[in-house]
Chain A
Amino acid sequence: MESFVSSLVFWVFATGLVAFSVLTVAGRSPVSSAMSLVATMIFVGGILITLQAYFLGMMQVMVYAGAVMVLFLFIIMLLNLDQESVRKKAWVKALSGVALCGGLFWILLGGLGLGQSRPLPPVPQGSDIRDLGRLLFTEYLLPFELTAVLLLVAIVGVILLCHQVRDRAAKKGGA
């Protein structure tokens, strides 16, 4: 019974994930794409939770569905983006794109070595967020600290990128 419920949960999340990722890619307006991406990220969080990576599932939902998507929507509204124009010979290009990605999917399936019946082992006792934190602050301490540097660099870079125009305007206004 329990395994039935867990497999049902997996299939529901997997179907939703694929459906909403298709909607993200195929959506006509950027806003609908962004909203589909929010749903996708929530479903990915669910998939991570079916893998019993609870902390990562919550992180995924909070970071992506929370912070990143707000940033995306903010930019869409700031730039006032509208729908893409339909290009010429759209069918040919869409078909070649789908064929390319279908081919890659085929290659990936070949490389995965499917059909070997690899069941997921049960999670060992005591494998939880505490162990993840311990690993993060001992074995992976240096990458973890470098992440802080990376975030700082990102902040400085964003400010630099977005303030150029305003600086020039301010100088012009002062002179």
Chain B
Amino acid sequence: MIPTLDHYLVLSALVFCIGLAGVVMRRSLIVIYMSLELMLTASIIALAAFSRFNQSLDGQVLVFFIITVAAAEVAVGLAIIVALFRQRKTSHTDEIAWLKF
């Protein structure tokens, strides 16, 4: 079966939902962050597939920007995790609940 647009979109949706499951179910901040990366990556697949489908390179340019922004985001997010760990000696979401009402 030759892959069509549908295959790529379903694959993207599946990876996105797996990533969301990780964000919802895991409690280690680092693993939650990795799952977020997974969700971003799923969007990359969808964008690249649409770009190919529409025979336009605009989608690929957007993917380029997503990769760049994700790299910057990872750096800042991990720095926040390190700062949090220094302050509170934990990276478990159960123990980081001071803003909880």
Contact = CB atoms under 8 A, between A and B. Distances in A.
B6 to A, nearest CB: 5
Nearest to A102: B17
Contacts of B52: 51-53, 120-121, 123
Contact of B3 (A50, A76, A131, A162): A50
Given A3-B2, A112-B10, A87 B48 contact: no
B75 A10 contact: no
A11 B10 CA distance: 13
Interface in B3-21: 3-11, 13-21
Nearest to B69: A150
Contacts, number: 228
A158 B83 CA distance: 10
A21 B93 CA distance: 21
Interface string B21-43: 11011111011011101100100
Interface residues of A, number: 85
Contacts of B76: 154, 157-158, 161
- Classify the interface of chain B: helix, strand, loop or mixed: helix
Given A51-B48, A56-B48, A63-B71, A14 B28 contact: no
Contacts of B44: 44, 48, 56, 60
Given A7-B2, A59-B64, A114-B6, A154 B75 contact: yes
Contact of B11 (A18, A64, A118, A120): A18
Interface string B65-77: 1011111111110
Given A112-B13, A120-B4, A150-B68, A24 B22 contact: yes
A162 B60 contact: no
B64 A105 contact: no
Given A33-B34, A44-B44, A115-B6, A157 B79 contact: yes
Interface of B: 1-11, 13-22, 24-28, 30-31, 33-35, 37-38, 41, 44-45, 48-49, 51-53, 55, 57-58, 60-61, 63-65, 67-76, 78-83, 85-86, 91-92, 94
6 contacts: A21-B15, A30-B28, A81-B30, A140-B65, A150-B68, A154-B73
